[in-house]
Chains A and B, each alone.
Chain A
């Protein structure tokens, strides 16, 4: 089944304890992206990647890191989590704007992170 898999789905952690949220897709997509969703603020893009070893900042990159060493994986790293990073996180992927096509995203199920 074509899908984007995120782990963990739920996590409660404490301030300053490094954590990684993994994201993997099995659709051979070039484009991958991380969003966070907060009440009243909608979805905001954190980082995105157009291909292996190519990453770029989205609208709210502060406090996050990403890497794209393989095409299928795009982990989100919180080096020193803070309470304002408590949120619902989504990973998404697509073929990107290939040959004038549209960037239609497939989303993961979400990872709910609480930082105490």
Chain B
């Protein structure tokens, strides 16, 4: 079942511009994470925001979480060509019978043009 859905599916910007990606989810969560994937390679964890947090920063990354709207956004400021990658949100569902489950969205493909 698809929990998180990123929007837009693809985003193309110029170097130096800001990039904003959104993630919507369906059910209550413990926390939400963002991962990055360079073409065909493994995903790399970027940032985590817990359900009781509203905003978090890490370098040029800013993540917000609105649990009432079941949505999150990832902002990359002053983008660089090296930021070109796919970005995925992942929701860590509240435990159901003790099982652990991290569900990924389909990703936003970001292209930063030099």
Contact = CB atoms under 8 A, between A and B. Distances in A.
Interface of A: 4, 31, 33, 35, 40-43, 45, 48, 50, 56, 59, 88, 90, 92, 96-97, 102-110, 112
In this complex, which of A59, A107, A108 has the most chain B Cβ atoms within 10 angstroms of its Cβ? Answer: A107
A33 B102 CA distance: 10
B48 A107 contact: no
A68 to B, nearest CB: 14
B50 interface: yes
Contacts of A96: 100
Binding site of B, secondary structure by majority: helix, strand, loop or mixed? Answer: strand
B45 interface: yes
The number of chain B residues touching the other chain, given as a range, is: 20 to 34
B2 interface: yes
B88 A42 contact: yes
Nearest to A58: B101
Contacts of A45: 101-103
Contact of A41 (B31, B33, B106): B106
23 contacts: A4-B42, A31-B100, A42-B104, A42-B105, A45-B102, A45-B103, A50-B100, A56-B99, A90-B42, A97-B100, A102-B48, A103-B92, A104-B33, A104-B45, A104-B48, A105-B90, A105-B102, A106-B45, A107-B43, A107-B44, A109-B41, A110-B40, A112-B40
